Amino acid sequence: MIMRCQALLGTFVEISTNQDDSQALDKGFAAVKQIQDLMAFHCPLSELSQINRWAHQVPLKIHSWTAQVLRIAQEVHKQSNGLFNCGVGHRLVSAGLLPRHIHLSKCQLGGIEDVHFLDSELITSPKPLCLDLGGIAKGFAVDKAVESLMADGIKSGCVNAGGDLRVFGQSPRSIYIRNQIAPMELIDIGSLQNGAIATSSLYFANRDQQQSHIINPFAPDESEAHIHFSGSYSILANECVYADALTKVLALSSALNHPCLNHFSAQAIRIAA
Amino acid sequence: MVMNWKPNPFAILGLAMLSAPIIAQAKIYVSAEQAQKILFPNKQLTKAPILVTDDLQERMRLASSIRYPFQGDRIWKAADGSWLIIDEVVGKHEMITYAVGIAPNGSILGIEILEYVESYGYEVAEAHWRQQFAGKTVKDPIKLNQDIQNIGGATLSCKHLTDGVKRVLVFYDLALKAK
- At B141 the pLDDT is 42
Given a cut of 70, the residues of chain A with pLDDT beneath it are 104-106, 182-184
Number of folded domains that form chain B: 1
Q: A236–B155: do the CB atoms touch at under 8 Å? A: no
B102 DSSP β-pair partners = B83, B108
Whole-angstrom distance, CA of residue A116 vs CA of residue A124: 5
Confidence of residue B138 (pLDDT cuts 50, 70, 90): very low
Distance from CA of B39 to the nearest CA of A (A): 10
* Chain A residues touching B158 at Cβ < 8 A: 7, 10-12
> What's the angle, vertex CA A272, arms to CA A268 and CA B4, rounded to 5?
30
Q: What are the strands, taking DSSP E only, across chain B?
A: 4-7, 24-28, 45-47, 75-78, 83-90, 94-102, 108-119, 144-145, 151-152
Q: Please say whether the dihedral angle defined by the alpha carbons of residues A254, A8, A179 and B14, taken in this order, is positive or negative.
A: positive
Question: Between these two residues, B128 and B55, which has the higher pLDDT value?
Answer: B55
Average pLDDT, chain B: 80
Whole-angstrom distance, CA of residue A124 vs CA of residue A117: 7
Termini Cα distance of chain B? 55
Examine residue B5 and state whether it is found in any structural domain, yes or no: no
Confidence of residue B133 (pLDDT cuts 50, 70, 90): low
Whole-angstrom distance, CA of residue B108 vs CA of residue B81: 13
Domains and CATH numbers, chain A: 2-17+156-271 (3.10.520.10)
- At B19 the pLDDT is 45
Q: In what order do the strands lie in the sheet with A232-237?
A: A2-8, A11-17, A157-161, A164-168, A195-201, A232-237, A267-271
Check if A43 contacts B (Cβ < 8 Å): no
Distance from CA of A222 to the nearest CA of B (A): 23
- At A201 the pLDDT is 85
How many cross-chain Cβ pairs, A to B, lie less than 8 Å apart? 165
Chain B residue set in contact with A, beta carbons under 8 Å:
1-8, 10-11, 14, 16-18, 21-23, 25, 27, 29-30, 37-38, 41, 93, 98, 111-113, 116, 120, 148-159, 161-162
* pLDDT tens by residue, A181-233: 766 677 888 999 999 999 998 877 877 888 889 999 999 888 889 988 888 89
Task: Compare CB distances from A197 to B2, B113, B152 and report the shortest one's residue.
Answer: B152
Do residues A183 and A263 lie in contact, with contact meaning Cβ atoms separated by under 8 Å? no
Say how many CA atoms lie within 13 Å of A64 toward its Cβ.
Answer: 1
Examine residue B133 and state whether it is found in any structural domain, yes or no: yes
* Chain B residues touching A1 at Cβ < 8 A: 149
Examine residue B10 and state whether it is found in any structural domain, yes or no: no
Examine residue B6 and state whether it is found in any structural domain, yes or no: no
B145 DSSP β-pair partners = B25
Distance from CA of B52 to the nearest CA of A (A): 27
- At B14 the pLDDT is 53
Task: Compare CB distances from B22 to A10, A185, A238 and report the shortest one's residue.
Answer: A185
Mean pLDDT (whole number) for B27-38: 92
- At A265 the pLDDT is 97
Task: Compare CB distances from B3 to A138, A162, A194 and report the shortest one's residue.
Answer: A194
Whole-angstrom distance, CA of residue A246 vs CA of residue A11: 20
pTM, rounded to two decimals: 0.90
Distant-in-sequence, close-in-space partners of A96: CB < 8 Å, separation ≥ 6: A211
Examine residue B98 and state whether it is found in any structural domain, yes or no: yes
Do residues B22 and A186 lie in contact, with contact meaning Cβ atoms separated by under 8 Å? yes
Which region, left, alpha or beta, applies to residue A103 given φ > 0 means left and ψ of -120 to 50 means alpha?
beta
Query: Quick check: B157 pLDDT over 70?
Result: yes
Q: A163–B156: do the CB atoms touch at under 8 Å? A: yes
Q: Which structural domain range is residue B92 located in?
A: 22-176
Q: How many residues does chain B have?
A: 179
